[in-house]
Amino acid sequence: MLNRTLAFGAAIALFAAQTAAAAPQPCLTGPEAEAVMITAVPTVMTTLRVMCSTSLPANSLVRQGSGDFVAKYQAAADEAWPLAKQGLGKLAGPDVQPMLESRFARPTLATILAPVVAANFKVRDCAPANRMITALAPLPPRNAAAAFVAFWQMSHADPKDQKDILPICPYGQK
C-alpha cells in the first residue's frame, strides 16, 4: 500500500509540475482554501507536535496528540474534503482530477503535506503557532479556517507575494 501511495503522490506532483509549467497557475477561492485548511489540520498538528516536542510544555495544545481539538477537525475534514478536492484539482489540472477521486488521494496528500510543513516551519515558530492555534481552538473549524484564510489574503494582497505552494486568490476573486 505504501508503494501505491508513493506512486500516487509522485503522479500528483508530476502532473502539477507539468500543468504549472504549461499555463499560469490558478488560485484557490476563499471557500476552497478554507476546505483545504480544515482537511490539513490533523496532519499539520501531528507534524507540529513532533517538531515542537522539545520547545513547548507538554500541556500545550500543539503537543496534545489527540483530544477534542484534533477530533473536531478530523470530523470537519470529512465534510470539507469534497470542496478541498475540487480546489486541489483546479490547481493540479484536469489530468489529476480523476486521481483525486481515488480512496488513496486524501491519505497521500496528508503524507505529502507533512514534509512540506516541516520544511517551511522552524522550531522558533512553535510558541507563536501554539498561541495562534490556542486562540482559534474555541471556534468551529470553518470559522477558524475562514479567519486564517482572510489573514492570508490580507498579507498576500500584492500579486508578487503569490509564490506560495498553495496559492489563494485575493479576497473577492473567484
pLDDT digits (tens, 9 = 90+) for 60-71: 999 987 788 889
Give the whole-number percent of the chain exceeding pLDDT 90.
41
**Nearest Cα to Cα of residue 83 among 31, 27, 149, 12:** 31
pLDDT digits (tens, 9 = 90+) for 47-62: 899 999 999 999 999 9
3-state secondary structure labels for all residues of 42-82:
HHHHHHHHHHCCCCCCCCCCCCCCCCHHHHHHHHHHHHHHH
In a domain, 173, yes or no: no
In a domain, 33, yes or no: yes
- Is the pLDDT at 14 greater than 70, yes or no? no
In a domain, 167, yes or no: no
Look at residue 20 in the predicted model and tell me its pLDDT: 47
Count of domains in the chain? 1
Specify the length of the chain in residues.
174
Higher per-residue pLDDT: 136 or 6: 136
**173 confidence band (pLDDT: 50, 70, 90):** confident
Instruction: Please tell me whether residue 12 adopts helix, strand or coil conformation.
Output: helix
In a domain, 170, yes or no: no
Distance CA(75)–CA(73), nearest Å, equals 5
Task: List the domain range (segments joined by +) for residue 155.
Answer: 2-161
Distance CA(66)–CA(89), nearest Å, equals 30
Phi, psi of 138 (to 5 degrees): -70, -20
In a domain, 108, yes or no: yes
In a domain, 72, yes or no: yes
In a domain, 136, yes or no: yes
In a domain, 174, yes or no: no
